[in-house]
Chains A and B, each alone.
Chain A
């Protein structure tokens, strides 16, 4: 049995008050393990992004716990929570959110800089990770000079550079064409996943289902079923 990466229980999250109140998470329980890629799929508005945000310490739930390494992250104060995200998590946002005025290498180095690592060392590491994601030679370009798929790779390099335990990706293929999307997730599956890491991906994209170890179905604020996927390789 692999080690538990995240254990969430009784997660409730609602937005608004009275008439306008929508409950996005209704008693969600979830456990993920190191060494696996978990997909969260489901219709639009079912609460996938909300769940991801609660799991990653970005959005405070109204009830429930998120245990990482045995500790409840929602018992931490704001600064400790920020440190948790910086040190344990890697994010790939749907819209990348790269800084257009920084070079790709500088963009990738941001988590290291935030960890107060030396500037030059950070740049060296960033260049190495850009090489891993196949962007050797593009270190000094601004992100806008890159294609969508390349920008997504920069975002992945930025998420990986701090060697996080947990990698969170929201709709990583949504703005990519099918082929590029597949190759990105395939890359993550082969090069980013390892036994000390857990990857959680929210997606609509059935073309990438083959890379999942488990697929969790989200429906109207609940995790409906758990579907195991068998790999052909």
Chain B
């Protein structure tokens, strides 16, 4: 199992945003998370990627527990070094890209592998060019983010995440900031990654896409996982009243 989150609890001040959420992701699996706005989807990804600290439960990557909560005590995270090592296991693609505007496309992709992973620049560059080619952006290597369309930016962001060779890639509504025409070019890339057995967790409002690409779909509501199953189970035959109501709104 690549990621194992158990009984995650997260508060913001007095507001409980995640209630006892458990999520395991196996190698090669594509998990989609759906749910209405404010249901805690982003918070769950942010907890998985350590952008937010959990208040209860445990997180393990590839069997190494990096956060756990002893009975009746506060959550304990692993040391700095261990966290840095585990951070290497995952990548995150943001809704609004968060490319580095002062770096060219190529440098956006190469900078972390060279300066964080300390890999050889020449081989990193070769790999980055291959990734750009795969993203259909080989001709944009020397462009700057402000010169790209939203869809192109998001593909660069995906390439940047992939360049670190993560074991699992998280997407938080990767197409929500994009015009409908640009959405498809990004979804196509993600679909291609799924075909290559990339392990992914995708928060999305694109129901047809989720249905097509995932092995498993999770429906969240009010900070709980309300329903979970194969796309056929969740989309075509939902058991829970709340899931049915949510899906109806999308028809």
Q: Do A and B come from one complex?
A: no
